[in-house]
Amino acid sequence: MQDGQLIIRNLGRQDYSTVWHAMQEYTDNRDAESVDELWVVEHTPVFTQGQAGKSEHILAPGDIPVIQVDRGGQVTYHGPGQLVVYPLIDIKRLRIGVRQLVNTIEQSIVDLLKPYGIEAYPKADAPGVYVSDNKIASLGLRIRKGCSFHGLALNVNMDMEPFHRINPCGYAGLQMIQCNDLNGPKSVQEAGDKLVHILSGLLGYKQLVQYQGLAE
């Protein structure tokens, strides 16, 4: 592995299951020399239910599929206009723990929003990023063989209605908000380009290598 290198994989819009299984495959097959990657993607509409998920938090999914997944956390919604970033990182090699990775991801979102005048913050007891008690970004990770997958979802400029069909992250009445309504980033690309550079910098990567699409 080239020291300090990070692959940025821009996936565009993809269905959830394809990317999820590709993350699992990459994590299962990587070794000590594998370069860390950040996958940047928008998903077609889907509810995902984490390992702690309870069915009563899925109120009325309607025509949107529900997928049981192997990340931490409860139920959330992914859809077009939401920035999703998956850090596929060897945290053992970086010499950081899970809590430090979570803190760094949350801090990168706070740092992204600050220049737009958005005062965002994490909560110690409820992973994610909030603005005035409303949730703007969700977080759910899985660690396998000392390596992370799954990641963050930042609401940018999307149809927020599906969040009313669930108790987001298992909290009844939790209000979800998005960047566009707070004069923040207007597009997934704008938010994604900035977040990638902030997050990679906080994690200490020196060289970013851009790729389009999933690896063949």
Known binding residues: 71-78, 138-140, 151-153
CA–CA distance, 130 with 33 (Å, rounded to integer)? 36
Annotated binding site for substrate: 71-78, 138-140, 151-153
Residues with a catalytic annotation lie at 169
Q: Which among 79, 84, 68, 90 is positioned nearest to 11, based on CA atoms? A: 84
What's 88-112 look like in SS3? ECEHHHHCCCHHHHHHHHHHHHHHH
